[in-house]
Amino acid sequence: MYLVHVYLRSHQRGGVLPDWTAAAVARCGAEVDGFEHVSVHRAPASAPTVGIFLRASSLEEAEAAAESLWRRTCAAQPLLRGWELRSAEVPLIAPEYLSWHAE
């Protein structure tokens, strides 16, 4: 399973990412093989992040699927179209974190 962060740039007209964004992604994700869960971090308003959990055979496949899911969600929800997709990436975890977290 992969967690892909979909990084967004602020809406062209300002404002914050709608509070129903996670529900919209989940509705579209129901049609995507491997989709598990979505979490939305609306702050900061200028650069919100959508976390998409997916089962995929590779990191690249997961990132492509998350980007595709975001684009599909925007197509279904016109109010999301003003948010520019900056990137869809699996966040890297520092080895130092893994060593102390495993204890």
What gap in Å lies between CA 17 and CA 11, rounded to an integer?
Answer: 8
What gap in Å lies between CA 94 and CA 18, rounded to an integer?
Answer: 32
CA angle, 13 then 76 then 12, to 5° = 10
- CB proximity list for 44: less than 8 A, separation 6 or greater: none
Residue 51 has pLDDT above 90, yes or no: yes
The domain that holds 16 is classified in CATH as 3.30.70
Containing structural domain, residue 21: 2-101
**Tens-digit pLDDT profile for residues 2-50:** 999 999 997 777 778 999 999 999 999 998 999 999 999 998 888 899 9
> Which of the two residues, 85 and 12, has the higher pLDDT score?
85
> Which of the two residues, 62 and 94, has the higher pLDDT score?
62
Q: How far is CA 98 from CA 2, 51, 92, 103, in A?
A: 16, 20, 11, 9
Our count of domains for the chain comes to 1
